[in-house]
Amino acid sequence: MAQLDLRRKLSVLADAAKYDASCASSGTSKRDSRGGKGIGSTEGMGICHAYTPDGRCVSLLKILLTNFCIYDCVYCVNRTSSNVQRARFSVDEVVELTLNFYRRNYIEGLFLSSGIIRSGDYTMEQLVLVAKKLREEHDFRGYIHLKLIPEADPKLVEEAGLYADRLSANIELPRDEAMGRLAPQKDVGVIKKAMADVRRQVEAARPEKKAKARPPKFAPAGQSTQLIVGADGAPDTEIIDRSASLYGGYGLRRVYYSAFSPIPDASSALPVSRPPLMREHRLYQADWLMRFYGFSPPEIGEATVNGMLDLAIDPKLAWALNRRAEFPVDVNTAARERLLRVPGLGVKSVNRMISVRRYRTLRLEDVARLCRGIDKVRPFITTLDWTPGGLTDAVDLRARIAPEPKPDQLTLF
């Protein structure tokens, strides 16, 4: 096979990696390059160095080591049976690219994944080798996210955790039953076991309060996973239940939702249509409601119809419209938990209100200055100078505050 030049490889292997939505470079241990021999820093907040026209950020150099793969997952652009062009980086090529990009301030670090070549162990070894070289030979202190190959020996996972900030194994299919049909070589049990191992090691690396010696750091930015939306027929409620189960079981920092997107040389086993971007957005909102607003999966379920979230309005508003009896909420006296359930009020707005109301009684204009738009909030609150009266229970409330419903997402045929 002819040798591809490096730019061509980069093009193939970045294209092959882009269906993984994870981009975070935040939440790891703080460190910088002072006193070191290399470059790199992480300061808590991640940095998005660019945005592509798909609205996604470029934070890490997100590439595959190779897109050769012995698996044949029908949703994947890199499956064995796909006729896409194949390429493979050498370990040194990835190391050099990462450093060259980093020095020019293009990226926060590296997100390296790979197709499965030869075996899970061999593939994982190669990934670990890249991270090890960056850390040990180049004293690179930027962010590294490594993909876990679930079938790999737990010892390799352990080693990966020493070099990487974050590890991730993707569940991809929310519905277990679909796995056999769409990803016949994958075993969801093996993926979960790999995640369980990571959680146990992350917890073991957490220093005891009075421990004298700190255990070595293990993946300080934790682990994440991705669920594909719209490939296996799972409704939103099933996806949310799956997420809740993963967050609870494996201490995940994030579950990413990735709208199933058409790929070059798609399999005939899946419908090829434009990705359900709005659905993906609503799932992220529901995910936020679970993690930051105290909503349980069944409560989010109340905001669905036939298991699907409303595409026209956000899930919190949908929930509140079904639960009018809980409103209006008095912003001057209500507990934080109740304020968090008011449509249009975010965590920051609520925190600010709670802080301000210790010094003055809130009026509607105060609330308006503390949130992003008062229209959605107004029917659900009372303030010193405002009470919604019959508005809260108005039959046409949804029509009054919800934006014009957009036409259904276009499906090409």
Partner 1 sequence: MATAELAHETDFDGWRAAARRFRLAGVEPAEARFVVRGQAHTSDLFSPVHPGEGRGPETHSQGGVQDTAGSAPPSSSGVRDLDPGLRRGAQREESFTVPKAFVEVAQDVILHRSADRFDLMYRLLWRLRDQPDLMRIVSDPDVADAMERAKNVSRASHKMKAFVRFRLVEDEAGEAYVAWFEPAHRVLERTAGFFVRRFTTMRWSILTPDGSCFWDGEALTFGPGARPEDAPREDEIEEFWKTYYASTFNPARLKTRTMQGEMPKRYWKNLPEAQLIPELVAASRARTDTMVQAAPTEPNARLSKAIARHVRDGSYDEGFVASTLDELRHGVQACRRCPLWRDATQGVCGEGPKQAKLMIVGEQPGDQEDLAGRPFVGPAGQVLNEALEDAGIDRDDVFVTNAVKHFKHEPRGKRRLHKTPVASEVTACRWWLDQERRLVKPAVTLALGATASLGVLGRKVAVTQDRGQALTMADGSIATITIHPSYLLRLPDEAARVREREAFVRDLQRVRALL
Applying the rule CB under 8 A, the residues between 263 and 282 that interact with partner 1 are: 263-268, 272-275, 277
Torsion of CA 291, 295, 297, 302, to 10 degrees: -140
State both tokens at 289.
């409601």
- Choosing from 4, 58, 312, 374, the residue that interacts with partner 1 (CB under 8 A) is 58
Which residue of 37, 209, 212, 406 would you call a contact of partner 1, by CB under 8 A? Answer: 37
DSSP states of 195-243: HHHHHHHHHHTSPPTT-SSPPPP--TT-EEEEEEESSS---HHHHHHHH
Contact segment (CB under 8 A) with partner 1 among 34-42, 85-93, 126-134, 158-166 equals 34-42
Does the protein bind partner 1 through residue 378 (CB under 8 A)? no
Note whether 233 binds partner 1 by CB under 8 A: no
Quick one: 241 or 398, whose CB is closer to partner 1? 241
Report the nearest approach of partner 1 to the CB of residue 409 (Å): 12
Binding-site member from 367, 377, 381, 401 for partner 1 (CB under 8 A): 367
**Does position 219 bind partner 1 by CB under 8 A?**
no
CA atoms within 13 A of residue 57's CA, in its CB half-sphere: 13
Decide if residue 347 touches partner 1 (CB under 8 A): no
In the complex, the smallest distance separating the C-beta of residue 182 from partner 1, rounded to whole angstroms, is 12
Measured distance CA(378)–CA(367) in Å, rounded:
9
Which amino acid, residue 230?
G
Q: How far apart are the first and last CA of the chain?
A: 37
Q: How many residues does the chain have?
A: 413
Task: Please answer whether residues 315 and 281 qualify as being in contact, where contact means their C-beta atoms are separated by less than 8 angstroms.
Answer: no
Q: CB of residue 100 vs partner 1: minimum separation in angstroms?
A: 5
**Residue closer to partner 1, measured from CB, 39 or 402:** 39
Distances (CA, A) of 116 to 65, 148, 149, 269: 10, 11, 8, 22
**DSSP label at residue 306:** T
Q: How far is the CB of 393 from partner 1 (least distance, A)?
A: 28
Minimum CB–partner distance for residue 327 and partner 1 (Å): 21
Contact residue for partner 1 among 209, 212, 358, 406 (CB under 8 A): 358
Q: Are 4 and 12 in contact (CB under 8 A)?
A: yes
Interface with partner 1 in residues 136-195 (CB under 8 A): 176, 179-180, 184-187, 189, 192-193, 195
Subset of 71-100 contacting partner 1 (CB under 8 A): 71-72, 80-83, 97, 100
Q: Is 103 in the site for partner 1 (CB under 8 A)?
A: yes
Please tell me the distance from the alpha carbon of residue 271 to that of residue 267, in angstroms, as a whole number.
9
